[in-house]
Amino acid sequence: MVENVIKKFAPQMSEYLDSKPVYAPYLMQHNEPGCDFPSFSTDEHGFRKTYDKKNKWITLQRFNQLKTQEKAALIGNSTAFGVGATSDISSLTSLLCRKTDLFWFNFSGRTFQSTQEMFAYLLFSSLDEKHVVILSGINNFDLSYRWFNQKGIYLPPFYCQNEFDRRFQVFTKLKNIKDNFRKYFLLSKLFKKNRKDNFFSDKIKNSFYSQTNIKQLLSIESINRSLLTLKRDLTVIKNKSNNLYYLIQPIAEWLNKELSKEEKTIFQYLKNRRGKNWELISSFLKHHEFNYRNSIKHICSELEIKCFDLNELDELKNDNWIFLDRYHLSDLGQMIISDYINSIIMCP
């Protein structure tokens, strides 16, 4: 449940949080399909609905089969998905349909890191778009310390963590129960809901979760791993698109913006409710963010991908209300980013 301070300033965030992630093959975790809230809706695949200049819904089939108009794809995480927008019409791709002569589709997913972004695009797109824009960056950075361990070369994806934890706890209880009836009751409760999610195992938990102290997780090695993952994924997408743009998403603390009164209140509330390790994590991220952004630019340069850092955009640094939390944008923020995307596509 969203706390009162968030409801007061951004009531639409309640609807975004009411939509829970679901398991999806290859993607591991995806947006809930068939959502129909006033602030946002999703299609049968879980992708956010985009509306063209005539307010007509651009279905995935319609988008992929279109031959009479040039197309563009938006790839990314929850920022690109448009979390924070008060309606589908106010989201990035719908705005871009109005600002450009291109047909847009939003392939973004909430909590996606770069590998999931890549799969969502490759699995669902016809791969014939004139322009492909990636708006992303923070989830690779965040995951670099959340699930770092020495077993993996690349970065593990987000997946249905809460659902897995629930099942793991039940299996733990079963080990200590001898009564067959009680075992049957627990198992029926376990598999009654979301049967398609029954793919988790102890091996996954041991591989993806680290019991290491948080101070040991915050390391340059973990960041390097996230960048290695990003380079691999961008290489694959680059091979499918000639006009590929990477936009490093704006982060409130990276911008050093002049906060609006709404942002001040929300950020103070969010700071107060974070766990005891947040100050340590925040300091680590702030210390490395400049080099991290430069590393992304270097990767894009090597791959001949046009890269733009939205944390350098002056329009985001004034005291207007841009952020609803650390990196989700208000309608004004959606408008500013869509204007910028339009400008770089029209004047490459």
- Which structure tokens are listed for 58? 């651009």
pLDDT, residue 131, reads: 97
Measured at the CA of 75, the angle between CA 71 and CA 76, to 5 degrees, comes to 160
pLDDT, residue 274, reads: 75
pTM: 0.85
Q: Assess contact for 39 and 85: CB atoms under 8 A.
A: yes
pLDDT, residue 346, reads: 80
- Give dist(CA 24, CA 201) in Å, integer: 16
Where are the domains positioned within the chain? Answer: 4-158+213-346
Q: Strand (E) positions, 98-170?
A: 103-106, 131-136
pLDDT tens for the chain, 348 residues: list them: 456 777 788 999 999 988 988 888 888 889 999 999 999 999 999 999 999 999 999 999 999 999 888 999 999 999 999 999 999 999 999 999 999 999 999 999 998 999 999 999 999 999 999 999 999 999 998 877 766 555 566 777 776 555 555 555 555 555 566 655 565 555 555 555 444 444 344 554 455 445 456 666 677 888 888 999 999 999 999 999 989 999 999 999 899 899 999 999 998 888 887 766 777 778 888 889 999 999 999 999 999 999 999 999 999 999 999 999 988 999 999 999 999 999 999 876
Radius of gyration of the chain (CA): 21
pLDDT, residue 216, reads: 65
Fold category of 4-158+213-346 in CATH: Rossmann fold (3.40.50)
**What separation in angstroms does the CA of 257 have from each of 38, 71, 105, 302, 326?**
30, 34, 30, 30, 12
- Give dist(CA 6, CA 112) in Å, integer: 23
- Give dist(CA 305, CA 247) in Å, integer: 10
> Any idea what DSSP says for residue 241?
-
CB under 8 Å to 241, separation ≥6 — which residues? Answer: 127, 129, 132
